[in-house]
Structure 1
Amino acid sequence: MENSQQTSEPPNFVHQDEIWKAHIKIEKDSGESWRKNWGFLSEAYKEYEMKSAQLKMGLQPDLRVRPLTPPQKQIQVGSSSVVPLTSQRFIGWRSGSSCLQLEKYNAVHHGRRSFLKDLGWSPDACS
């Protein structure tokens, strides 16, 4: 079934050719502008491919995974004092002793600094 919008006039080949030329010109110009604006990505990709090929071939032995260190060598905890008799005293009984050298939890101070103030920007610089 033919399209109902077609007319009985013959197609204008010159006009269709001009439209095709305009489409080709837009494609060419956009390719050149992409290379100018985003061409650095293709260079970065080539560098990435070269590095990954070197890693696959094993040319960089310094990037091998080291064997894991056992936790006994990293963490040292001294002996603890006598276990408290009540559950009320049981909470935090090991952290209260200074000889055990455990972390002590203090008040949280996160979020009091402003990234914008550190940079010297006005508060409405980012929205």
Structure 2
Amino acid sequence: MAQKPISIAAAERMNLVAQDEIWRYRLRAETEARQNWAQKWGFLTTPLEELAECEDNAPAPKPRIELPQRFRIRPVTPVEKYIKVLPSPPVPKTTQGFIGWRSGVPGLNKCLEYDKVIQSCKGTYAKELGWPKEGIH
């Protein structure tokens, strides 16, 4: 037969030894906390005026340390020194030569442009898939 569950109050009365141990442990913890409070939290008892005085005094500036040459930032070098833009190559004679060819002159790119939209094999493939013009580039 199953036993009837006992109430919490009855359980507390039955286990007096455990309750006594818990009470002793709690008193010991409170006593240790009271003894260590000044070491851990004593800074909270500093008067407000003393804290305000410490904030008013600006800290002394740190001395500047001279960095070695290898850690210094080099002066800015003009981009033209590293990047050379050569003139455009001659206009290709075949349509295959237009792939990857560039020209800074807008009139020379007319072979690749149709209504200011670049025509390429990508556009042809997109038409096969039925994509809109806005989704090509």
Please give the TM-score of this superposition, normalised by the length of structure 2: 0.28
Higher relative contact order (CA 8 A, sep 6+): 1
TM-score by length of 1: 0.30
